[in-house]
């Protein structure tokens, strides 16, 4: 690809970070002259250091704060169908070693060498989120590669979310290959059955990242009642039901999500053991405390309250408030799980906010386990954003 245009690092930038695996070049690190700014978003270029030594093939988006993303550390690499298939095959082999059934995150963006691209697999259906301009532009080629490598018959493009807006990409929803499923897809995990709405649900339809934390929550169940707040499709609630909880209460603001909770419970033959409540979570927690309700296990898995550094302070206050409101609902000797998917809030900050909230809720606690995303969401050590998920499990006195 020697005929590609060149994008060059500024003299005061640190090329060793790129050489050591950091995958991004920010706008203040590159020479953004008129020629570079004229490059089409999603096009490819050769990244050079200030001494004009070729470092990598990158994809360029002059309109983004991340002006370049490393595609391949080999400057001679050709980004095309064969290259895509090789990356997908590498990702697939690892997932097949980890999981018995084809239900997992197949591609976790930069961690799998496909920057900005998310692919979740639901058996014969793959749902892709192209959150970088190159992936959006090559969506058809990616769909072909997915079919060739994995054998899926349907590929859905779910182009929604904050990440796309940061890249200047419009929202889009398309079936690229095959036909859209006639209804939600059943996903079996940890002995529970979930319903994934891959066409109209949040993200790709289900959150695979919490799978190991669902499993840990199951170990805390000894009959009794459990509460799943911000439940979405019932991730924690249905898992604990499968582990022997007598009754699960799921709270979420989305009526369609709660219908999927009911559907999952029905598929498990446990309809009469599930209560769903459509409500603002904060108001629901306050109302339950006023009613004197208590649970053996309470789990709160809210959306990202701190999606950026600018939102960090307000986000930590929100996490603290969740902990404060949830703690009084836990029976003495029971368990409270608090989760964060905000990459801007690191583990220490989130743990401190959670502990403050529990204390303000009038309870004493010990932290018994810290969880993260499953291995189908690998973390790139050089990029903290890929290790976003935190799950803290406390025992309350």
Q: CA-to-CA distance for 76 and 4, rounded, in angstroms?
A: 10
Cα dihedral sign, 99-209-236-180: negative
Strands 172-177 and 185-189: unpaired
Q: What is the Cα–Cα distance from 330 to 342, expressed in whole angstroms?
A: 25
Indicate which residue of 250, 300, 339, 341 is catalytic: 341
Rounded Cα distance between 84 and 72, Å, is 11
Q: How far apart are CA 312 and CA 306, in angstroms?
A: 5
Which residue is associated with the tokens 């990616």?
A: 142
What gap in Å lies between CA 72 and CA 87, rounded to an integer?
11
User: Residue 327 in contact with residue 256, Cβ under 8 Å?
Assistant: no
List the one residue out of 2, 87, 108 whose CA is nearest residue 45: 2
Cβ atoms within 10 Å, residue 77? 14
Cα-based distances in Å from 295 to 70, 108, 200, 223, 289: 48, 35, 32, 11, 11
Diameter over CA atoms, the chain: 70
The DSSP element (H or E) to which 234 belongs, if any, is none
How many C-beta neighbours within 10 Å does residue 279 have?
Answer: 15
Joined tokens for residue 266: 């029905």
- Cα–Cα distance between 261 and 47 in angstroms, integer? 48
Which residues are 316's β-sheet partners? none
Whole-angstrom distance, CA of residue 164 vs CA of residue 144: 22
User: Is 300 annotated in the active site?
Assistant: no
Q: Hey, what's the torsion of the CAs at 16, 20, 22, 26, to 10 degrees?
A: 10
Q: Would you please indicate which residues are annotated as catalytic (active-site) residues?
A: 341
């Amino acid at each position: 690809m020697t005929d590609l245009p060149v994008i060059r690092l500024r003299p005061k930038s640190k090329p060793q970070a790129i050489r050591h695996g950091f995958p991004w070049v920010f706008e203040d690190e590159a020479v953004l002259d008129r020629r570079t700014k004229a490059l089409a978003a999603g096009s490819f270029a050769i990244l050079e250091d200030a001494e004009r030594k070729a470092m990598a093939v990158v994809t360029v988006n002059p309109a983004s704060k991340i002006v370049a993303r490393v595609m391949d550390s080999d400057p001679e690499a050709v980004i095309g169908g064969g290259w895509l298939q090789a990356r997908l095959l590498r990702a697939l082999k690892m997932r097949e070693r980890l999981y018995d059934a084809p239900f997992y995150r197949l591609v976790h963006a930069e961690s799998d060498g496909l920057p900005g691209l998310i692919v979740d697999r639901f058996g014969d259906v793959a749902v892709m989120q192209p959150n970088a301009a190159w992936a959006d532009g090559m969506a058809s080629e990616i769909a072909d590669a997915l079919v060739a490598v994995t054998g899926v018959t349907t590929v859905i493009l779910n182009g929604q979310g904050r990440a796309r807006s940061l890249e200047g990409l419009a929202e889009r929803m398309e079936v690229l290959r095959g036909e859209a499923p006639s209804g939600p897809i059943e996903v079996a995990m940890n002995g529970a059955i979930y319903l994934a709405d891959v066409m109209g649900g949040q993200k790709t339809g289900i959150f695979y990242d919490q799978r190991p934390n669902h499993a840990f929550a199951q170990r805390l169940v000894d009959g009794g009642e459990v509460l799943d707040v911000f439940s979405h499709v019932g991730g924690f609630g249905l898992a604990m039901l499968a582990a022997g909880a007598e009754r699960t209460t799921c709270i979420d603001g989305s009526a369609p999500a709660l219908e999927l909770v009911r559907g999952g419970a029905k598929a498990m033959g446990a309809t009469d053991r599930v209560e769903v409540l459509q409500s603002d979570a904060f108001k629901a927690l306050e109302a339950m405390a006023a009613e004197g309700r208590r649970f053996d296990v309470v789990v709160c898995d809210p959306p990202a309250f701190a999606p950026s550094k600018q939102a960090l302070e307000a986000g930590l206050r929100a996490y603290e408030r969740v902990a404060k409101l949830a703690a009084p609902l836990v029976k003495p000797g029971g368990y409270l799980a608090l989760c964060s998917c905000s990459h801007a809030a690191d583990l220490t900050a989130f743990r401190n906010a959670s502990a403050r909230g529990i204390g303000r809720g009038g309870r004493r606690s010990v932290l018994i386990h810290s969880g993260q995303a499953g291995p189908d969401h690998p973390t790139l050590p050089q990029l903290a954003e890929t290790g976003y998920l935190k799950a803290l499990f406390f025992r309350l006195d």
